[in-house]
Each structure stands twice: as structure tokens, then as C-alpha cells.
């Protein structure tokens, strides 16, 4: 069996190359004055730092299901020498983000974390016997003056000096910061693997290496789609795995309707061959992304390495799909939390090589550890149009109309909504999913032979309807000349339409594709005045769907990467950005975000 974790581990001859997940550096800072002050604070400061480390280790998981690790320096940091001791240790340990913790006054610029490129936060204990909050303000001023934005954490209520508990509001900020900062750190130095080129003129598939390098610290790798053909024909894949995979597919993936007119339909033999082909595509594409040590054993040391890809895109349409089976099955299964190897971390793969949608999927995956759904933002159905076409007057969540999210590939099977949390439809991290839920996701899905008008080479498209009432967040990254990247976020819910209404609306589109009916949370303002205005303000043809109302996490992450958010419906109290953002205006946070991002510039700009 393959390792459950897709951890970018490959063999190079005798050696193993393992890119470890980043750790969290906890920096206890202290007033450096010996002779009474420092001694009286050592224990308290250390205990507070330990409490933060314990809280993080108990509450935050890495995408591979392991607990995140925290690193504390050899001693408290009272001045620059101890700050450097922490730096050295953190570098050795692979720390990717830091939280400075203190209950007292310390010397700002002498104790601060000056590491470039890593997200930083400071929790200044809100007590009054010792001025931790005064340090927080001072060190944040130093960070801003030096152009190293910092997240300021300051509890709302005063705590007693011997209280080592972490108040609820502080906990929330720590979680937001660590989850987002981990995402920044995990994607750094990984690749986007562009398989093929531009799909049908879709701008997101004109993959922009400057964006990936400057904003995400990633590199872009490019391979031609013919590489998949070479590996199929020369049998450069693990044939034992292929046999297991095709057997699993035959037993678990049920075919649905064939949408093609009878005279165009292909026969059973051809369909069986296509199944074999698309399963090989999935195995090979996964290996192209992350490598496979089996390939070295089989005599393919180069292919064994893969491309260090945490994210990939497959052009598919048109040259490939005009001749070969489409990428829908491959995209669906790789994006899912399970396959023939059991439950495992999803591999993030964008359809139509839409790298900008892929980035949103990657953000969503790293922020929540869950599988993502890729979709076209296809149709706004007003209540009037629904009534006209179906005779049903939309009610409840659907009363202001719905948006039809649908695309041929890339929708993870988790998107069926057949997993549950407290009896409600959900998408969970792979280690929380049960075998029974895997079975239900598969049962709720049909694989329909591809529409031969669009896909001359055939293939199997994934068909399901997402269960309603799931809180979800849709997102989209766009690049605008002169402005750079901007992120859009809409929190909302999946809805279920009455079956006959769904059927009528779905049949007007491509009924062999997965559908998610989506309703955004309306605020009555700007782009969120109506469901129509959300659709109208969407910046491209695609969105990524992430389980949960996690727009606040996307906002925190975007601020770390200096990507402004041009549209969101997240309540103001949930927004957490570096303290420097207030210096760009406190009334209109949206405009201030643009100014702050422009001022600090992309995190990795050369
Ligand atoms: C089959 C069509 O070409 C679709 O793939 C098209 O509607 C898209 O998905 C465009 O993003
Ligand atoms: Mn599309």
C-alpha cells in the first residue's frame, strides 16, 4: 500500500529527500534587566509560551493529519543575543512562522523577530501588573517602521498575573494566524505543475511564473501533455497499482447515463478501454506531481522524482480532449480524499489548467485540510426565471435566486456532501472520514460517458448533486494588469432544490457534470446586495468551493501574501490582518487593504 501521506518524499539513489512540514516558533520575550526584574518574570514568561505551544499543538493539524510541532528557544529572549539564539535554532528546525509571547515589557527592536519572509505575530498579555501590552504596541511599531508587518494579539479582558489560560478571543486570533501562516509556509518552495498549456483561451491557464514566484514563493514547472502518453505507452507507472486501481474502479465507480445520441455512442469494449486509460492518467499525473519511489525500483529514477508539485493543472481541452479521453475522472479522483489506496490527502489539481483557480483550491485546502471543488460559475437563476421555467417559487435559502456551480472535472467526490459532522452534510479532513462515508460519496456519484460534442476523445465525467445546507466559501483569484492579483471571497450555503426543479434546470446545461447550487450570504451592500450582483461581480468563469465559512482565513492569508481582497462578505469583527494595515485607514478597510498590500509589495519580490 502506498503511504497515506502525500508528503513530497522521493528516493534519490540511496538517499531520501523529505521536505518536512514547517514548525511553529514560539518566542518568549522578557525584560532583560537582571537583578530582580528578569528573574521574577522568567517562570511566568516561559509558562505562558508553553501554554501557547500546547494550545497550538493540540488544536492544529497539518494537511497530512499529523499534529503541528512547536519549537521553543533554549531560553527567554531578553535582548539581541538571545534573539539570535532563537533564530539559529528555528532555522535548523525549519520554523516557518513565529509567535512572540510575553506578559511583560521587553525591548522592542532588540527582541523582535527580524526573519524575512515568515509571518509573525505577537501576543502581549493583557495584565496590568506588568506591561505586556505596552511591549506589544512598541514592538508592533518597530515592525511597521522596518517594513516587517506583524499580527498583534491583545486579549479584550484584563487577566490576573498568575492566570495562564488563553482567553477565547486570543485563542481565535492564534488559530487564524497559525492556520494562515502555515499555509504560506507549506506552499513556499513547492511547484505548480502546468501540464499542457492554455485551455480554450482561458486566461487563468496562461500560467504566470512571476505571480507564483513573487507572491507565493513557488515555482512553475511545465510539462507537455504528451508526457502522459509517453508514460502510458512505455508503461512508466506501477503496474501492480494499476491492476489494483482498475479493479477498485470497476467495483466502486458506477456508470451513469450516456448523453450521446445512440448513433454516436461507443461500445462496451471501448468504454472499458477508456476506463483503463483514465485510471492510468490519474496514476501518472499524481506521479508527475509528487514522484513515486516505486518508479525508481522499476528503473525510472528521473520519473521517480516528480516535480515537487503541491498543485497542478491539466489543460485537457482542446488538443488533448479532441483526441484522447478527457481528464475528468483523473481530476475528480486526485482531488478527492480517497482512492484505491484508501483515505489519503487530496492532490490538488485544477481543470483547464486554470492556475488561478488552482491557487484558490490550494489556499482552501491548506487552510482547512479538506478536499476542494472546482466549478464553473455557470448561471444565475433569478426566482422569477426559476418560476417561469419550473413553476416552483423559490423559498427559504433559495428565495433570492441561486447560482449554478458546475464543471466537467475537478470536483472532489467529497463534494457530494455525503460526509457528516453532527448529522449535517460536511467535507472533512481525510483522517476524520469513515469508510461508510467513502461508500456514500461513491454511491451518490455516477460516471457518465463524456459528451462527444465537447469531448471528441470521450472519457468519463463525474455526476453528482451536492447536498444542501453546507456552509461553504467560494473564492477566486484574478490578475489585473497594473493592479496585480486580487482575491474575491463569498461565504454562503449549498442548497438543494426540489428534485424535479433540479432536473429541469440541470437538463438545460450538461446533466452529466457535478452540480452545486450555491447561495451567497447577502449583506445588502456592494457586491453582496443580491445573488445577482455576486454573480455579476465575479471576476472569471471559475471558482473554488471550500467547506465552511472560512472567508476570514482567506483574508488573513491574503494579507500575509499582500494580495488585496476586492470583494468579500466576512463580518468586520472576524477580519484579522497585520497591525500595519490600520496605518492605511481604519474606516474603509477594503481600500486600506489595497494601499497596505501595494506599500509592502509581494512577500518574495526579487
Ligand atoms: C465543455 C466546455 O468546454 C466547458 O469545459 C466549458 O464550459 C468550461 O468549463 C469553461 O471554463
Ligand atoms: Mn470550466
Count of CA atoms in the C-beta half-sphere (13 A) of 430: 27
Instruction: Give domain limits for the chain.
Output: 20-187, 191-600
Residue 163 catalytic? no
Q: How confident is the model at residue 18 (pLDDT cuts 50, 70, 90)?
A: low
pLDDT of 162 reads: 84
Q: How confident is the model at residue 11 (pLDDT cuts 50, 70, 90)?
A: very low
Q: How confident is the model at residue 128 (pLDDT cuts 50, 70, 90)?
A: confident
260, pLDDT greater than 70: yes
**Cα(458) to centroid(ligand 1), Å:** 15
**Cα(546) to centroid(ligand 2), Å:** 17
pLDDT of 525 reads: 96
As beta bridge partners, residue 461 has: 448
pLDDT of 410 reads: 79
How many other C-beta atoms can be found within 10 angstroms of the C-beta atom of residue 117?
A: 12
Rounded distance between C-alpha atoms, residue 278 and residue 260, angstroms: 19
pLDDT of 408 reads: 77
SS3 of residue 169 by DSSP: helix
Q: How confident is the model at residue 106 (pLDDT cuts 50, 70, 90)?
A: very high
E-strand ranges in 145-234 read 151-153, 191-195, 219-223
Query: Per-residue pLDDT averaged across 7-23, rounded?
Result: 61
pLDDT of 130 reads: 82
292, pLDDT greater than 80: yes
Q: Which of 113, 352, 510, 593 is labelled catalytic?
A: 352
6, pLDDT greater than 80: no
Atom 2 of ligand 1: nearest residue by CA position: 454
pLDDT tens digits for range 528-558: 999 999 999 999 999 999 999 999 999 999 9
pLDDT of 1 reads: 32
Can you name the CATH fold of 20-187?
Rossmann fold (3.40.50)
Tell me the chain's radius of gyration from C-alpha atoms: 25
pLDDT of 178 reads: 98
Q: How confident is the model at residue 19 (pLDDT cuts 50, 70, 90)?
A: low
**Cα(407) to centroid(ligand 1), Å:** 7
pLDDT tens digits for range 340-360: 999 999 999 999 999 999 999
Cβ-contact 94, 105 below 8 angstroms: no
pLDDT tens digits for range 487-518: 999 999 999 999 999 999 999 998 999 999 99
Q: Which of 376, 414, 506, 510 is labelled catalytic?
A: 376
84, pLDDT greater than 50: yes
CATH of span 191-600: 3.20.14.10
Q: What is the DSSP string of 71-139?
A: E--SS-B-SHHHHHHHHHHHHHHTEEEEEEEESS---HHHHS---SSS-EEEEE---SSS-HHHHHHHH
pLDDT of 7 reads: 46
Residue 129 catalytic? no
Q: Which of the listed residues 378, 407, 457, 540 should we mutate to test ligand 1's pocket, taking the one with most ligand atoms within 8 A of CB? A: 407
pLDDT tens digits for range 240-253: 999 999 999 999 99
Q: What is the pTM of this model?
A: 0.97
5, pLDDT greater than 60: no
ipTM: 0.97
Is 376 among the annotated ligand-binding positions? yes
The kind and range of the H/E element at 504 are: helix 499-507
pLDDT of 17 reads: 58
Q: What is the DSSP string of 305-374?
A: HTT-EEEEEE--TTTTTTTS--SHHHHHHHHSSEETTEE-PPPEEEETT-HHHHHHHHHHHHHH-S--EE
Mean of the per-residue pLDDT values of the chain: 95
Query: Per-residue pLDDT averaged across 396-404, rounded?
Result: 97
pLDDT of 219 reads: 97
Q: With pLDDT > 70 as the criterion, what percentage of the chain qualifies?
A: 97
* Residue matched to cell numbers 464543471: 407
Q: Which of the listed residues 376, 476, 511 should we mutate to test ligand 1's pocket, taking the one with most ligand atoms within 8 A of CB? A: 376
Amino acid at each position: 500500500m502506498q503511504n497515506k501521506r502525500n508528503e513530497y518524499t522521493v528516493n534519490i539513489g540511496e538517499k531520501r529527500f523529505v521536505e518536512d512540514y514547517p514548525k511553529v516558533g514560539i518566542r518568549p520575550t522578557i525584560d532583560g534587566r537582571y537583578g530582580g526584574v528578569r528573574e521574577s518574570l522568567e517562570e511566568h514568561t516561559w509558562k505562558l509560551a508553553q501554554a501557547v505551544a500546547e494550545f497550538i499543538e493540540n488544536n492544529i493539524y497539518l494537511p497530512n493529519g499529523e499534529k503541528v510541532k512547536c519549537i521553543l528557544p533554549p531560553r527567554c529572549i531578553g535582548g539581541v543575543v538571545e534573539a539570535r539564539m532563537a533564530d539559529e535554532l528555528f532555522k535548523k528546525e525549519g520554523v516557518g512562522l513565529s509567535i512572540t509571547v510575553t506578559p511583560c515589557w521587553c525591548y522592542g527592536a532588540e527582541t523582535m523577530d527580524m526573519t524575512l519572509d515568515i509571518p509573525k505575530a505577537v501576543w502581549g498579555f493583557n495584565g496590568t501588573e506588568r506591561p505586556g501590552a505596552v511591549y506589544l504596541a512598541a514592538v508592533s511599531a518597530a515592525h511597521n517602521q522596518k517594513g516587517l508587518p506583524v499580527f498583534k494579539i491583545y486579549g479584550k479582558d484584563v487577566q490576573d498575573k498568575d492566570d495562564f489560560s488563553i482567553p477565547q478571543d486570543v485563542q481565535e486570533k492564534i488559530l487564524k494566524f497559525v492556520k494562515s501562516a502555515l499555509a504560506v509556509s507549506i506552499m513556499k518552495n513547492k511547484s505548480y505543475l502546468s501540464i499542457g498549456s492554455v485551455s480554450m483561451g482561458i486566461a487563468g491557464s496562461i500560467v504566470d511564473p512571476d505571480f507564483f514566484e513573487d507572491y507565493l514563493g513557488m515555482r512553475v514547472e511545465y510539462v507537455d501533455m504528451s508526457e502522459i502518453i509517453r508514460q502510458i505507452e512505455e508503461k512508466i507507472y506501477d503496474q501492480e497499482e494499476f491492476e489494483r486501481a482498475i479493479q477498485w474502479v470497476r467495483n466502486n465507480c458506477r456508470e451513469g447515463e450516456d448523453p450521446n445520441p445512440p448513433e454516436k455512442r461507443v461500445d462496451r469494449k471501448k468504454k472499458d478501454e477508456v476506463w483503463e486509460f483514465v485510471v492510468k492518467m490519474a496514476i501518472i499525473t499524481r506521479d508527475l506531481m509528487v514522484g513515486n519511489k516505486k518508479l525508481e525500483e522499476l528503473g525510472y529514477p528521473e520519473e521517480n522524482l516528480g516535480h515537487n508539485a503541491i498543485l497542478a493543472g491539466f489543460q485537457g481541452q482542446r488538443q488533448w480532449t479532441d483526441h484522447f479521453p478527457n481528464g475528468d475522472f483523473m481530476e475528480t479522483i486526485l482531488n478527492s480524499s480517497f482512492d484505491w489506496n484508501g483515505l489519503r490527502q487530496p492532490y490538488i489539481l485544477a481543470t483547464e489548467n486554470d492556475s488561478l483557480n488552482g491557487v484558490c483550491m490550494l489556499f482552501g485546502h491548506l487552510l482547512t485540510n479538506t478536499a476542494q471543488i472546482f466549478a464553473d460559475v455557470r448561471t444565475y437563476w433569478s426566482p422569477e426565471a426559476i418560476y417561469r421555467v419550473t413553476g416552483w417559487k423559490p423559498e427559504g435559502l433559495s428565495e433570492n435566486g441561486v447560482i449554478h456551480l458546475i464543471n466537467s472535472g475537478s470536483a472532489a467526490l467529497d463534494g457530494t456532501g455525503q460526509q457528516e459532522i453532527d448529522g449535517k452534510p460536511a467535507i472533512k479532513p481525510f483522517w476524520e472520514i469513515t469508510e461508510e462515508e467513502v461508500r456514500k460519496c461513491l454511491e451518490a456519484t455516477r460516471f457518465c460517458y463524456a459528451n462527444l460534442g465537447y469531448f471528441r476523445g470521450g472519457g468519463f465525467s463525474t455526476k453528482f448533486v451536492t447536498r444542501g445546507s453546507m456552509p461553504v466559501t467560494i473564492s477566486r483569484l484574478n490578475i489585473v494588469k497594473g493592479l496585480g492579483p486580487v482575491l474575491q471571497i463569498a461565504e454562503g450555503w449549498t442548497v438543494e432544490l426540489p428534485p424535479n426543479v433540479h432536473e429541469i434546470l440541470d437538463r438545460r446545461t450538461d446533466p452529466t457534470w457535478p452540480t452545486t447550487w450555491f447561495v451567497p450570504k447577502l449583506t445588502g451592500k456592494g457586491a453582496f446586495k443580491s445573488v445577482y450582483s455576486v454573480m455579476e461581480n465575479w471576476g472569471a468563469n471559475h471558482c473554488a468551493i471550500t467547506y465552511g465559512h472560512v472567508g476570514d482565513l482567506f483574508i488573513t492569508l491574503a494579507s500575509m501574501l499582500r494580495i488585496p481582497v476586492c470583494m468579500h462578505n466576512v463580518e468586520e469583527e472576524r477580519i484579522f490582518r497585520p497591525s500595519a494595515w490600520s496605518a492605511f485607514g481604519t474606516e474603509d478597510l477594503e481600500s486600506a487593504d489595497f494601499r497596505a498590500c501595494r506599500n509592502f509589495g509581494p512577500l518574495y519580490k526579487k
